[in-house]
Amino acid sequence: MNETFTSQLKIVECSQEYWEFVRLLRMNKDVEAGFVKQGHISEEDQIAYMKKHANSYRICLHENTPCGYIGVVDNDLRICVSPEYWRKGIGSFMILKTRYLWPNPQVKIKASNNKSINLFKKNGFAEKYLIMEPKDLSDA
C-alpha cells in the first residue's frame, strides 16, 4: 500500500450527495462484470435503495473526491473502486477502516473475479463455501 497516497484517503458516511456516484460506479462497464448481479439501475431505484440502506455504506474520498464505496447489507459486503484509482490500495484501505463497523461480513465473489478474491484473502478473509450453479443451457 502506498502510504503517502493512503494518507490522503478518508472514509465518510454515504450521504445523499454520494448516491449518484455509487449508482454510476456500480454500472461502470469496467467494474460491472465483477459483480454477481448486473444490470441497469435507474435513478429512482437508486434513491429508493439508498433511502433504505445508505447507513450501511461508506464512501472513500481521495482529497475530497469520491473514489470508492464499501457497504454491508444483510451481512453481505460490497465494495467498488473507481477504475482510475485501481491498484493504489484503496480496496484494502476501505476494508481495514470499516472492519470495526462490520466485523464479520461475508463476501460473495464470482469465481472468475481473481482481483477481488486476492483482495479479500490479502485482508484476512478465507474461502469457506463454494456455490455451484447449473450452466446456462445455451452454453452447452
Residues 110-136 have a mean pLDDT of 89
pLDDT score of 2: 64
Per-residue pLDDT band for 39 (boundaries 50, 70, 90) equals confident
Cell of 26: 456500480
Q: How many domains does the chain have?
A: 1
Type of residue numbered 73: V
- Whether residue 66 is predicted with pLDDT greater than 70 in this model: the reply is yes
pLDDT score of 4: 74
Helix (H) and strand (E) counts for the chain? 5, 4
Alpha carbons 138 and 91: distance in angstroms, whole number: 35
Report CA 97 to chain centroid distance, whole Å: 14
Q: For 78, phi and psi rounded to 5 degrees?
A: -125, 140
Which range of residues forms the domain containing residue 85?
Answer: 3-139
- State what percent of residues in the chain have pLDDT above 70: 96
- Whether residue 121 is predicted with pLDDT greater than 90 in this model: the reply is yes
Q: 42: domain CATH number?
A: 3.40.630.30
Report CA 75 to chain centroid distance, whole Å: 13
Alpha carbons 70 and 77: distance in angstroms, whole number: 7
